[in-house]
Structure 1
Amino acid sequence: MRLAAERIDWRVHGHRLLDDVSLAVAPGETFGLVGPNGSGKTTLLRVLAGLRKPRTGRVLVNDASMYAMRQRDIARTIAFVEQQAETLDRIVVREAVALGRTPFLSALQPWSEQDDAIVDQALDNVGMAHLADRLWHTLSGGERQRVHIARALAQQPRILLLDEPTNHLDIRHQLSILSLVRQLSVTVVIALHDLNQAMECDRIGVMDGGRLVDVGSPSQVLTAERLHHTFGVHVDFLEDPHDQRRIMRFRNAL
Structure 2
Amino acid sequence: MRLTAEHLDWTVQSKKLLDNVSLTVEPGQNYGLVGPNGSGKTTLLKLLAGLRKPRTGQVLLDGQPISRMRQRDIAQTLALVEQQAETTDRLNVRQAVGLGRTPFLSPLRPWSEQDDIIVARALNDVDMAHMADRLWHTLSGGERQRVHIARALAQQPNILLLDEPTNHLDIHHQLSILQLVRQLPVTVVIALHDLNQAMACDRIGVMDHGHLVADGPPAEVLTTERLQTTFGVQADLIEDPLDGSHIMRFRNAI
Q: TM-score range by the shorter chain?
A: over 0.9
Q: Distance in 2 between matches of 1:117 and 1:253?
A: 49
Matches within 5 A, 1:45-194: 45-194=45-194
Report the counterpart of residue 217 of structure 1 in structure 2. Answer: 217
How far off is 1:243 after superposition?
Answer: 2.6
SS at match of 1:37: coil
Q: Deviations over 1:51-101 (max 9, x none)?
A: 000000000000011011000000000000000001111110000000000
Q: Distance in 1 between matches of 2:211 and 2:152?
A: 28
Q: Distance in 2 between matches of 1:251 and 1:65?
A: 44
How far off is 1:247 after superposition?
Answer: 1.2
Q: Distance in 2 between matches of 1:216 and 1:79?
A: 24
Report the counterpart of residue 18 of structure 1 in structure 2. Answer: 18
Matches within 5 A, 1:223-242: 223-240=223-240, 242=242
How far off is 1:190 after superposition?
Answer: 0.3
Letter in 2 for 1:212: L
Q: Distance in 2 between matches of 1:182 and 1:73?
A: 25
Report the counterpart of residue 38 of structure 1 in structure 2. Answer: 38
Report the counterpart of residue 249 of structure 2 in structure 1. Answer: 249
Letter in 1 for 2:233: V
RMSD between aligned alpha carbons? 0.8
SS at match of 2:76: helix
Report the counterpart of residue 9 of structure 2 in structure 1. Answer: 9
Q: Distance in 1 between matches of 2:81 and 2:229?
A: 29
SS at match of 1:172: helix
Q: Distance in 2 between matches of 1:237 and 1:157?
A: 34
Q: Distance in 2 between matches of 1:6 and 1:183?
A: 28
Letter in 1 for 2:118: I
Q: Distance in 2 between matches of 1:41 and 1:229?
A: 18
Matched, 1:200 2:237: no
Letter in 1 for 2:68: A
Q: Distance in 1 between matches of 2:66 and 2:15?
A: 25
Q: Distance in 2 between matches of 1:246 and 1:126?
A: 27
How far off is 1:127 after superposition?
Answer: 0.3
Q: Distance in 2 between matches of 1:76 and 1:135?
A: 26
How far off is 1:249 after superposition?
Answer: 1.3
SS at match of 1:153: helix
Percent identity (aligned): 74
Q: Deviations over 1:149-169 (max 9, x none)?
A: 000000000000000000000
Q: Distance in 2 between matches of 1:238 and 1:116?
A: 45
